[in-house]
Amino acid sequence: MVFSTTKEVESWLNMMPEETQKSYRRFKRVSDVLTREPEPQVGQTPKEVIWTKNKAKLYRYQPTLTKTKKVPLLIIYALINKPYIVDLTPGSSLIEYLTNQGHDVYLLDWGTPGYEDRNLKFDDYVLEYIPRAVQKVLRKSGADEISILGYCMGGTLTSIFAALHSDWPIRNLVFLTSPFDFEDTGLFSNWLDERYFNLDKVVDTFGIVPGEMIDLGNKLLKPLVNYVGPYVSLAERYENEEFIKSWSLMQKWVADGVPFPGEAFRQWIGEFYQNNKLINDELFIRGRQVKLSDIKANVLNIAAQRDHIAAPNQVEPLIEKISSTDKTFEVMPTGHVSVIVGGTAVRKTYPLIDQWLSERSN
């Protein structure tokens, strides 16, 4: 049977049992979402580029209020996926929320590395990129001190930077689901065991590790939830337009991975996951020993209760290592991503970060 108009389809549907009508409308809505509707817009908080280095860009977000907090905030994200997860969409954006509260917010976007960036290491990010970005923020804001928020691996990078630059004017550090102790990393401990995972062969073969490979590893931690779950949810809630909007935004971000520079990946897996050097004071960056005890800034360390990428047992040990007198550990009732986007993030995570920073930024 072939229909030439939508009206003919509706007439035919009206003759069908109610369950058939519902099934058809579910199929059509899901099909439209997956194949016909445009990608949602992300990262809409107004911003300007104030500095670049290689592929990296430093953004300053337009302050909403005339008077901002005295201490500016630099956000540093991981080397995987795109950082617009912290500015996903109006109403579900940490950056939008913080600018609305009067914070002067900056973001270091690592960009998308190419094969020519395969030799970039943690050393480069920690000793060249982050220091330059911090200097630019201080110069642009006219401030004497800075706050830094590191999300996921961005927090791990930030902790190394802060430990190696303890004499810099870092007042506040916020770590958001960032791993520091890699003794027990769940399934990753098995998959990345050096007896089974040939790290050197992976890096030497790819040069830069494809984003799809990183995404596969993360999704396989909970394959049914990550591969089947989203589409089941979409089919079940196909009539909820607000859910579909959020669903489309998250699927866009999840699929928007970036390659991982090979030498940095070699360090990340070898020195962190396989040998757990950071928490044990055994990590060296260009010959300099990284001691987390050298961190003296005020610290807010946030874990997510249902996080299977950076579980609370990987996050909390930082508190015992640092020398800060003002240090707080919080566990949010969320997962690794829902700690930063969605209803619980808006109600709990955003206000927590804002209040903690506001009390220490004037």
Domains of the chain, residue spans: 47-185+276-358
Give the whole-angstrom CA distance, residue 166 versus residue 175.
Answer: 16
| Neighbour-count burial of 62, counting CB atoms closer than 10 A to its CB (0-12 exposed, 13-18 middle, 19+ buried) | exposed
Averaged pLDDT of the chain = 92
Residues 6+ apart with CB under 8 A from 308: 186, 221, 222, 335, 336
Q: What would the two tokens of residue 118 be?
A: 């395969």
User: The domain 47-185+276-358 is classified under which CATH number: 3.40.50.1820, 3.10.28.10, 3.40.50.720, 1.20.1050.10?
Assistant: 3.40.50.1820
By the 8 A CB rule, do 352 and 315 touch?
no
Task: Write down the pLDDT at residue 77.
Answer: 95
Active-site annotation holder among 87, 117, 124, 152: 152
Active-site annotation holder among 104, 124, 307, 354: 307
Closest alpha carbon to 56 in 261, 209, 216, 217: 261
In terms of DSSP bridges, do strands 105-109 and 284-285 run parallel, antiparallel, or are they unpaired?
unpaired
Give the whole-angstrom CA distance, residue 77 versus residue 85.
Answer: 9
**Annotation says 117 is catalytic:** no
pTM given for the model: 0.92
Q: What would the two tokens of residue 54 be?
A: 């290689």
Give the whole-angstrom CA distance, residue 254 versus residue 82.
Answer: 9
Angle, CA 176 vertex, CA 173 and CA 178 arms, to 5°: 100
Residue 51: strand pairing partners:
58
Q: How many secondary structure helices (H) and strands (E) does the chain include?
A: 17, 12
Active-site annotation holder among 104, 109, 336, 354: 336
**Annotation says 152 is catalytic:** yes
| DSSP string covering 114-181 | -GGGTT--HHHIIIIIHHHHHHHHHHHHT-S-EEEEEETHHHHHHHHHHHHTTTS-EEEEEEES----
Residues 6+ apart with CB under 8 A from 142: none
Provide the edge-to-edge strand list for the sheet that holds 73-76: 47-53, 56-61, 105-109, 73-76, 146-151, 170-176, 298-304, 327-332
Residue with tokens 């619980």: 344
Which strand (E) or helix (H) includes residue 2?
A: none
Quick: pLDDT tens for 205-254.
999 999 999 888 888 888 877 888 888 899 888 888 998 998 899 999 98
pLDDT per residue as tens, the chain (362 positions): 555 566 666 676 677 777 776 777 788 888 888 888 888 999 999 999 999 999 999 999 998 776 677 899 999 999 988 999 999 999 999 999 999 999 999 999 999 999 999 999 999 999 999 999 999 999 999 999 999 999 999 999 999 999 999 999 999 999 999 999 999 999 999 999 999 999 999 999 999 999 999 888 888 888 877 888 888 899 888 888 998 998 899 999 988 989 999 999 999 999 999 999 999 999 999 999 999 999 999 999 999 999 999 999 999 999 999 999 999 999 999 999 999 999 999 999 999 999 999 999 98
| DSSP string covering 256-304 | ----EEHHHHHHIIIIIITT-TTTTT--EETTEE--GGG--SEEEEEEE
Q: What would the two tokens of residue 133 be?
A: 């970005």
Q: What would the two tokens of residue 344 be?
A: 């619980």
Quick: pLDDT tens for 136-169.
999 999 999 999 999 999 999 999 999 999 999 9
By the 8 A CB rule, do 202 and 261 touch?
no
